[in-house]
Amino acid sequence: MIFNTNIPIYVQIIDDFKKRIISGEYGPSDKVLSVRDLAMEYGVNPNTVQKALSELERFALVKSVRTSGRYITEDIKIIQELKDQFINEKVQTFITDLKGLSITDDEIIRHIERGIHNGSDD
């Protein structure tokens, strides 16, 4: 992973975990790699990974099981809320950017519908 120097690394790790959860790469109740293994994977200090995991626990996306490690939440509702929040943020950014170019709602909708239809296998 290539890190952005303007954003704290632990925040970028949190965002990466969230995307992996949303995409299903990390499923409900999946065991999370150890701090040491994650630090090696990300190429960062274990303390940075620990900070990211602690925040993910605070968000209830990850839970610690004493002597067993950490696991992705099994609460599908929390995962769906995370997914909805992610989608809403992306959509709002997209709409704000287009409206800043004086593109109308009808044009935005027309292009989205076209993009969905062109991207489908139907």
User: Residue 81: what residue type?
Assistant: E
* Residue 122 confidence class, pLDDT cut points 50, 70, 90: very low
Q: For 57, phi and psi rounded to 5 degrees?
A: -65, -40
H/E segment holding residue 10: helix 9-23
Q: How far apart are CA 105 and CA 111, in angstroms?
A: 10
pLDDT, tens digit, 9 for 90 and up, residues 22-60: 999 999 999 999 999 999 999 999 999 999 999 999 999
Q: How far apart are CA 114 and CA 13, in angstroms?
A: 34
Q: How far apart are CA 97 and CA 100, in angstroms?
A: 5
Do 52 and 13 touch, CB atoms closer than 8 A?
yes
Choose among 59, 85, 83, 87: nearest CA to 73: 59
